[in-house]
Amino acid sequence: MAGPRPVVLSGPSGAGKSTLLKKLLKDYEGVFGFCVSHTTRNPRPGEEDGKDYHFVSRETMQQGINNGEFIENAEFSGNMYGTSKASVEDVQAQNLICILDVDIQGVKNIKKTDLNPIYVSIQPPSIEILEKRLRDRQTETEESLQKRLEAARLDMELSKEPGIFDIVIINDDLEEAYEKLKEVLTEEIKKVQESKKS
């Protein structure tokens, strides 16, 4: 696939991925494109089909997966989520750096494809800090919080495996984490900016 290399961003909920991503998209307008995932869950208030997610039926999604149209897919709390090849190609066709926000399972699935992205893991300084961040959000029931922490523990362990990520960024200082993220993407950002000039 031509165009800049996609970026796979992974890390547990509450590690600060979305915050870093928002900063990046704001500072580099017209450089990054967000890959719109598919899901079988119902839209939440304010979510738009095709912008936040492609909302599809379970049958449609399963059929796409069976046809090999998805780079990765997973199931959470009874709903299916996935990244289609077409979604990534849409972004690359606009000569943008495609950002994929996936869990560790998704990362392992993407490793089996020919996507060749830059793999970045955003990790919290510790599980205790992560728990505090999640509790401060006050959006979780105790049960769902424990589930997230369990997933985070696993994520933090797996992110230490050699060869999975090109870089693991520990987000204990947002500015520092952001600088590291920019650094690892410099080359691809330049490619896009150069091509926009010509």
Q: Where are the domains of the chain?
A: 7-197
Query: What's the pLDDT score for residue 1?
Result: 45
Q: Would residue 135 show up in a list of annotated catalytic residues for this protein?
A: no
Question: How many Cβ atoms sit within 10 Å of the Cβ of residue 28?
Answer: 16
| Residue 133 annotated to the active site | no
Phi, psi (5° rounding) for residue 43? -60, 140
**What's the pTM?**
0.85
User: pLDDT tens-digit profile of 123-161?
Assistant: 999 999 999 998 988 877 899 899 889 989 999 999 998
Domain 7-197 = CATH 3.40.50.2300: no
148 labelled catalytic: yes
Dig out the tokens for 93 from the structure. 């066709």
As a whole number, the mean pLDDT across the chain is 91
Closest Cα partner for 180 from 168, 163, 190? 168
DSSP letter (8 states) at residue 122: E
Among the listed residues 44, 58, 133, 153, the single catalytic one is: 44
Give the bridge partners for 168, in sequence order: 121
Give the strand order in the sheet containing 97-101: 32-34, 97-101, 7-10, 118-123, 167-170
Q: What is the pLDDT of residue 130?
A: 93
Q: What is the DSSP string of 108-165?
A: HHHHTSS---EEEEEE-S-HHHHHHHHHHHT-S-HHHHHHHHHHHHHHHHHTTSTTT-
Which is catalytic among the residues 5, 41, 135, 137?
137
Taking only the tens of pLDDT, the chain with its 198 residues reads 457 899 999 999 889 998 999 999 899 999 999 889 999 999 988 999 998 899 999 999 999 999 999 999 988 778 999 999 999 999 988 999 999 988 888 898 899 888 899 999 999 999 999 999 989 888 778 998 998 899 899 999 999 989 999 999 999 999 999 999 999 999 999 999 998 887
